[in-house]
Amino acid sequence: MIKQMNVKLSLMSKLTLLLLSLLSISSFAKDPVGFYYQNTFDMQMLNYEKLILNAEAFSEEEISLLKDHGTEAIAYLSVGETESHNLVVGNGEGPGGYASWYIDVNPADNLPDKNPNWGSYYVNVGDPAWQSYLFNRVDELAYKGVSGLFLDTVDIVDVIPDSRFAMVALIKSLNEKVNSTNFEQTYGKRLSIVQNRGFSIIENTAVYLDAVLFEGLTGSYDHTSQSYILADTIQTDNVARRLNQIQRHSYFEIWSLDYLNQGDSAALKMIIERSQQYQFTTITSDIDISRFDNINLNSANAKPEGLLDTFSVTESDAFTVFEVISKDTLDLSAHRVQILINSQKGHASYIEEGITADYMLENGTLYQYSGNGGNWLWDLVISDAVQSQQSDSYRVSLQNIQFGLGQNESIEVLARVFNDNETLVEISPVVRLVSETTQYVRQDELDSSLVGSQDIISVVLEQTGFELKLSLSLREAMGSTEHYSFYIDTNDLSGYQFYDISASYMLKDGHLYQYTGDGVSWSWQWLKWLPLNINGTSLGYSLSLSDISLLQAQSFEVIVVTENADWQTTDQTKALQAFIK
483: closest CA among 506, 460, 514, 517?
506
309-320 residue pLDDT tens: 788 888 776 678
Element (H, E) at 265: helix 265-277
- Common-topology check for domains 30-80+125-302 and 308-434: no
374: closest CA among 496, 280, 277?
277
51-68 residue pLDDT tens: 999 999 999 999 999 999
Task: List the chain domain ranges.
Answer: 30-80+125-302, 83-122, 308-434, 439-579
- The reply to whether CATH 1.10.510.10 applies to domain 439-579 is no
Contact between 358 and 348 (Cβ < 8 Å): yes
Amino acid of residue 58: F
> Which of 231-240, 291-300, 332-341 has the highest average model confidence (pLDDT)?
332-341
Distance CA 331, CA 328 (A): 7
The CATH label, of 1.20.1250.20, 3.40.190.10, 2.60.40.10, 3.20.20.70, for the domain at 30-80+125-302 is: 3.20.20.70
Say what the pLDDT of residue 296 is. Answer: 44
503: closest CA among 408, 580, 403, 576?
576
Q: Is residue 492 very low, low, confident or very high in pLDDT (cuts 50, 70, 90)?
A: low
Distance CA 303, CA 375 (A): 30
Which is more confident, 574 or 292?
Answer: 292
Say what the pLDDT of residue 554 is. Answer: 65
Q: Please say if the pLDDT value at position 537 is more than 50.
A: yes
The gap from C-alpha 125 to its chain's centroid, in whole angstroms, comes to 20
Distance CA 285, CA 221 (A): 11
What homologous superfamily is domain 308-434 in, according to CATH?
Immunoglobulins (2.60.40.10)
Say what the pLDDT of residue 421 is. Answer: 81
511-524 residue pLDDT tens: 999 999 888 888 89
Residues in the chain: 581
